[in-house]
A and B are shown apart, each in its own frame.
Chain A
């Protein structure tokens, strides 16, 4: 069965320091993988996506993620955290090409300390 595991439910970083949000996936096929961000009382915004092209994916707001098939991981990183990055982040797998039946992780709440 396809699934996605976010390894940390909460992450705290100081402003200006690097961010690492961890995600592992399980899929029988070559999946599409996404990271979405959800600010309080807002909908989900797409940060970046991996669809079997380059393994290092650059997204919006300075975020990037690296697809590592051998480790079944798709960790999200940012070199320098900003206060506005504080939000809930979801790793998502779309296990079947041509459909949109997203499977979400349980989320990681990122806190940025001044």
Chain B
């Protein structure tokens, strides 16, 4: 069974640019959540997708957006990057009806 995978591993962008991060959920999981983990902090919930629909959002501006595809993989898009967007972005998938989340290794985004 393949776990949650994310790509790319690392990314460096310039302020004002746009970025797309990708996540493949664990087999059989229909829910994907995204988290932002700033250095030295706990992860913060960005949003969640369930069967291709957004199913809850944290306290993040609209320039953070996402998609979920029919195979339950997901993208996180961030527009107009700011320096404070530098963080580890974590994707987690969950089985339908389950309670625990399974996390990918993350994408480390650096904005310069």
Contacts and interface: CB of A to CB of B under 8 A. Distances in A.
Given A44-B90, A90-B42, A100 B103 contact: no
B21 to A, nearest CB: 14
Nearest to A49: B100
Contacts of A49: 99-100
Given A43-B90, A100-B33, A100-B94, A107 B99 contact: no
A63 to B, nearest CB: 15
A58 to B, nearest CB: 15
Contacts, number: 56
Contact of A102 (B31, B41, B43, B104): B43
Interface residues of B, number: 24
A24 interface: no
Contact of A44 (B43, B45, B48, B56): B43
5 contacts: A32-B99, A44-B90, A97-B99, A100-B99, A101-B33
Nearest to A34: B100
A49 to B, nearest CB: 5
A107 B43 CA distance: 9
Nearest to A97: B99
Give the one of B31, B43, B90, B104 with max A CB within 10 A.
B43
Nearest to A41: B105
